[in-house]
Amino acid sequence: MYLLVGLGNPGPEYAENRHNIGFMIADQIHRDFNFSPYRSKLKSNISDGQILGQRALIIKPLTFMNGSGQSVAEVVNFFKIRKEDIIIFHDELDLGFGTIRVKSGGGYAGHNGLKSIGSTIGSEFKRVRVGIGHPGEKNLVTNYVLKNFSNIERSTVEVLVIAISSFISELFENKDADFTNNVTKELSKMTQT
């Protein structure tokens, strides 16, 4: 069974924040693959379904970003999910807006949600890093990630989220480079029109 984790903060006031791109991706996958309605369980909004015949769970932690590890650990332990079957979707300050990278294991680049997850289950999980850009100065980061995407950014975010969902099966098959290339191509089509 695969575990797809969207990182973000619960509550309508955070829904469109840059920090909530993981929740946006989770919700797109949820819609596209007709997953069951979300229910609150194990400190998460959780849903189950199938992608290309593979059983999968989608979770959106209810513990806020900095406590994401609590809910992820509860779900992993309850369902006995292997670390290599976990895919985390999250925002990445160190990547240009709209850039996407896939990484397995390694450090957390100052991302408190990833740090929290790493402290509870270790770092051997796959991450889909979605670039939101950097405000330029460290002291501006908190306000930047907790602000909504601009009107100009929103159309790119919509295409990006749909593309990630469309090519999700490539992550299951460990075709990470194909996934990245295909998502990037979808974004470049948008800039050509």
CB distance 130 to 6 below 8 Å: no
Q: Is residue 116 classed exposed, middle or buried when 0-12, 13-18 and 19+ CB atoms within 10 A define those classes?
A: buried
Tokens of 30: 């949820």
Q: Active-site residue among 19, 30, 90, 111?
A: 19
- Return the SS3 of 100: strand
How many CB atoms are located within 10 Å of the residue 139 CB?
Answer: 8
Tokens of 190: 């948008």
Note if 19 is an active site residue: yes
How far apart CA 42 and CA 39 sit, in angstroms, is 10
- Give Dmax over CA atoms of the chain in angstroms: 47
The set of residues, in sequence order, having a beta carbon less than 8 Å from that of 75 and lying 6+ positions away, is 3, 42, 44, 46, 57, 59, 81
The set of residues, in sequence order, having a beta carbon less than 8 Å from that of 95 and lying 6+ positions away, is 101, 129, 130, 131, 132, 133
Residues acting as catalytic residues: 19
